[in-house]
């Protein structure tokens, strides 16, 4: 179940700070802005997350290089693998 979506970094920061969810999928680029401020909030709150990106792993912050990455265009198998890596049962 989708708990929330954000089309820009400001909204993503709000959701990351306030929304309780099992996990998050974070697009590296939200509305033309890098979403680098969001992962530390998710990590601090203990929310597991994976990145979704068309840039590949090169666009990730080094501190979060260990997080699962789903590349665009998204393939169902890759999404399922990332969710399992986050500890979610499908």
Span 67-84, average pLDDT: 96
pLDDT tens, residue by residue, 3-15: 999 999 999 999 9
Nearest to 27 by CA among 48, 50, 61: 50
Distance CA 90, CA 41 (A): 25
Q: Tell me, what's the pLDDT at 58?
A: 72
pLDDT tens, residue by residue, 24-73: 999 999 999 999 999 999 999 999 999 999 887 777 888 998 999 999 99
Helices (H) and strands (E) in the chain, counts: 3, 5
Select the more confidently predicted residue: 89 or 50: 50
């Amino acid at each position: 179940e989708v708990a929330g979506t954000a089309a820009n970094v400001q909204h993503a920061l709000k959701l990351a700070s306030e929304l309780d969810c099992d996990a998050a999928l974070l697009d590296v680029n939200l509305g033309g802005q890098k979403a680098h401020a969001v992962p530390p909030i998710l990590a601090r709150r203990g929310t597991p997350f994976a990145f979704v990106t068309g840039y590949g792993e090169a666009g990730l912050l080094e501190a979060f290089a260990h997080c699962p990455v789903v590349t665009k265009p998204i393939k169902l198998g890759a999404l399922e693998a990332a969710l399992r890596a986050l500890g979610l049962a499908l």
